[in-house]
Amino acid sequence: MRALGGEQVEEAVAGCVATLRTVVDRDWEGVDAAGLEWSCRHTAFHVAEDLIAYAGQLAGRAQDGYVPFEITLEEGTDNAGLLHVIETTGALFAATLRTTPRDVRAFHPYPFRSADREGFAAMGIAEVLLHTHDIAKSLGITYEPSEELAESVLTWLFPHVQPGPAPWPTLLWATGRGELPGRAPVTEWRWRNNLVIPTERLVLTGLRPAAARDLRLGGDGGFEWIDGGPYQGTRDAAEFMMKAYEAGVHRPEFGVFALVRRQDGRSVGGMGFHSAPDEDGRVEIGYDLVESARGQGYATEALRALAHWALARDDVQALFATVERDNTASQAVVTRAGFKKVSEEEEFAYELRRP
């Protein structure tokens, strides 16, 4: 799976600068960017601010808030100089992405108060693409990024948005900047970084649609797996998740998680929900481990953490799992995690209810 990082940031910045360089002689201060209350010049500077801020979050390993610094333009900086600032902050951000380990997460407020390296890359690319569009539209020039960049933003930051006929119009619609046939206009929106749930030895890392698609097609989903991984059950779960995403019914927090081992950053299995909770607040959990990771308590540890997270929500009343009759190891996992057997038909059914 192709990682999202410095190369894509540089591509987005290059497209922005090439587009806006054609109108550096125009008045950017006296014209508001399309759909915004900022001038085109302020919007362009905002792009540079975001790029350097995201670099700062990752480089500084910020955990509780934004790193307290800002940049300013020297008095008298013209539009060409401002584009140079965008190029420079983009280069600094790209360099930061290339030198940041994959497991690093830093503070970002929405929705789970952190983002990883790829999440920050996607947010930076989104800022560049969308605000270049806002400026170009107001100044009456044509701008359209590559479909690959637009699709990357959608599959990394908009897992709750059903794919449309083409990525760029879908991204514009999802951010309230355009129309899409058959869909109501968007008036409020936010992107969504993936959920992670830490345990003593693992990090349950929520799969984005891009990762799920890669797993479905036989790839590694962007993870390094221990020998023999990923197991077929994880690939099957990724396929179910992609079907929900493509149908527009995927709720990212009730998706699939890779079980990443803290000690070496390698994935040992997958765990997740079969769907979002039903009208009674019931939701099914499934899981599997790579064979060489079994018998070490990883599944029990992960299941306890995921169950605790789910049952702390108002929309979840009960979790259930089905286990084959001859799978005594899995029966022991759900039992140790607090589930009670409630049925013994073709498969054993287990349930864990909110206290």
Residue ranges of domains in the chain: 6-174, 196-353
Contact present, 217 and 209 (Cβ < 8 Å): no
In CATH terms, 6-174 corresponds, of 3.10.129.10, 1.20.120.450, 3.90.870.10, 1.10.10.10, to 1.20.120.450
Contact present, 21 and 83 (Cβ < 8 Å): yes
Q: What are the tens digits of pLDDT across the range 280-303?
A: 999 999 999 999 999 999 999 999
The residue ranges of the chain whose pLDDT is under 70 are none
Query: Quick one: pLDDT at residue 323?
Result: 97
CA 94 to chain centre: 18
Q: How many whole angstroms separate alpha carbon 68 and alpha carbon 219?
A: 40
Query: The domain 196-353: what is its CATH number?
Result: 3.40.630.30
Q: How many whole angstroms separate alpha carbon 153 and alpha carbon 183?
A: 20
Structure tokens at 42: 């302020």
CA dihedral 308, 312, 316, 322 (to 10 degrees): 10
Q: How many whole angstroms separate alpha carbon 61 and alpha carbon 58?
A: 5
pTM of the model: 0.96
Query: Quick one: pLDDT at residue 17?
Result: 98
Query: Quick one: pLDDT at residue 138?
Result: 98
| Rama region for 197: left / alpha / beta (φ>0; ψ in -120 to 50; rest) | beta
Query: Quick one: pLDDT at residue 228?
Result: 80
Q: What are the tens digits of pLDDT across the range 36-94?
A: 999 999 999 999 999 999 999 999 999 999 999 999 999 999 999 999 999 999 999 99
